């Protein structure tokens, strides 16, 4: 019997919060059962570092690190005319390598909490649409960030995916939305990913949503260094803490943690081919 593992499907290990102990963090993740991590990407100028990190952390005592490529909605100003061709060139080159570890486009999406003007939101929608086109072109799943923008996010996803039959279109990362939104996204071929927010004392209604979301459509993540779970709240978050999210989910679903580990890992392996 193989030992169950967890997959942290959303982390930012390149951030300078880890500059002094990145290897220890990755070792600690591995030793806590986190066999694989998917590293999200916020800006094009991070990609080179992510490619390096994905080579450095390759199992062998560390969690195996896979990466995404994309531009975060709040980083929309970093996207210019050349960005699209730059990302295209990177994907063309890297995806041709037999041992590449690029497994998703993202994180992309809409963030109307941080960007409140019509012009900013328009630009976010524009680069969201462009990244969805990239994902379709390279047949990669999307990592979607959405905040205070459920209805526009859903409209855009419907426009692109309503008539596709794929159940591997991506994930709604760090889910904080409504039950209706979760179920509509699942209908469009997306998974729902829970972060440490699920463990917060104040997240009672979110736990109600998690009760309804089918386990076979569920992923777990940390979004570290942000959003440390309740038990570590206020501290720097790290991939090993995805264990707290799995424990919370096991309580919500009334199932053993091993079962939660097995199913969410199977889901992440299926969605991201990792
Ligand atoms: Ni993130």
pLDDT of residue 9: 98
Copy the structure tokens of residue 39. Answer: 């590293």
2 CA distance to ligand 1 middle (Å): 30
User: How remote is the CA of residue 40 from the centroid of ligand 1, in Å?
Assistant: 6
Predicted local confidence at residue 164, as pLDDT: 87
CA distance 10 to 6: 12
* Ligand 1 centroid to residue 143 C-alpha, Å: 9
- Which H helix or E strand runs over 38? strand 34-39
Instruction: Give the pair of three-digit tokens for residue 37.
Output: 């991590």
Angle between helices 150-161 and 179-187 (to 10 degrees): 10
Residue 70's pLDDT band (cuts 50, 70, 90): very high
| Average per-residue pLDDT for the chain | 96
Gap from CA of 145 to ligand 1 centroid (Å): 8
25 Cα to the center of ligand 1, angstroms: 17
Give the single-character DSSP code of 36: E
Q: pLDDT, tens digit, for every residue of 240-261?
A: 999 999 999 999 999 999 999 9
Would you state the pLDDT for residue 2? 67
d(CA 163, ligand 1 centre) in Å:
28
Q: Is 48 exposed, middle or buried, given 0-12, 13-18 or 19+ CB atoms closer than 10 A? A: exposed
Residue 81 predicted with pLDDT over 90: no
Mean pLDDT of the region 103-110: 98
Helix (H) or strand (E) holding 147: strand 142-147
pLDDT tens profile 139-186 = 999 999 999 999 999 999 999 999 888 999 999 999 999 999 999 999
CA–CA gap between residue 101 and residue 55 (Å, rounded): 8
Domains with residue ranges and CATH for the chain: 6-272 (3.20.20.140)
* Nearest residue to 6 (alpha-carbon basis) of 270, 240, 251, 171: 240
CA 228 to ligand 1 center in whole angstroms: 13
Question: In sequence order, what are the residues at sequence separation of 6 or more whose Cβ sits closer than 8 angstroms to the Cβ of residue 26?
Answer: 13, 37, 57, 62, 63, 65, 239
pLDDT of residue 218: 98
Tell me the residues surrounding ligand 1 (ion) with CB < 5 Å.
40, 223
pLDDT digits (tens, 9 = 90+) for 180-237: 999 999 999 999 999 999 999 999 999 999 999 999 999 999 999 999 999 999 999 9
Cα 194 to averaged position of ligand 1 atoms, centre (Å): 12
3-state secondary structure of 162: coil
């Amino acid at each position: 019997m193989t030992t169950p593992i967890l997959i942290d499907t959303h982390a930012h290990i390149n951030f300078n919060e880890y500059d002094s102990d990145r290897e220890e963090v990755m070792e600690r993740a591995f030793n806590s059962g986190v066999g694989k991590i998917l590293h999200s990407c916020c800006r094009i100028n991070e990609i080179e570092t992510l490619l390096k990190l994905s080579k450095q952390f390759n199992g062998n005592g560390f969690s195996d690190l896979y990466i995404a490529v994309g531009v975060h909605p709040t980083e929309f100003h970093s996207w210019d005319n050349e960005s699209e061709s730059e990302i295209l060139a990177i994907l063309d080159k890297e995806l041709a390598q037999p041992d590449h570890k690029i497994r998703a486009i993202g994180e992309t999406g809409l963030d109307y909490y941080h960007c409140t003007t019509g012009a900013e939101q328009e630009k976010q929608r524009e680069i969201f649409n462009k990244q969805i086109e990239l994902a379709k072109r390279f047949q990669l799943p999307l990592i979607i960030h959405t905040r205070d923008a459920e209805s526009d996010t859903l409209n855009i996803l419907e426009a692109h995916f309503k008539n596709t039959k794929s159940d591997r279109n991506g994930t709604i990362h760090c889910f904080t939305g409504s039950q209706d939104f979760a179920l509509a996204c699942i209908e469009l071929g997306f998974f729902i990913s829970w972060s440490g927010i699920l463990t917060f004392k104040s997240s009672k209604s979110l736990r109600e949503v998690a009760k309804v979301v089918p386990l076979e459509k569920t992923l777990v993540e940390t979004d570290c260094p942000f959003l440390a779970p309740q038990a570590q709240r206020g501290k720097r978050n790290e991939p090993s803490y995805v264990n707290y999210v799995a424990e919370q989910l096991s309580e919500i679903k009334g199932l053993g943690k091993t079962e939660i580990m097995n199913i969410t890992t199977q889901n992440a392996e299926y969605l991201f081919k990792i």
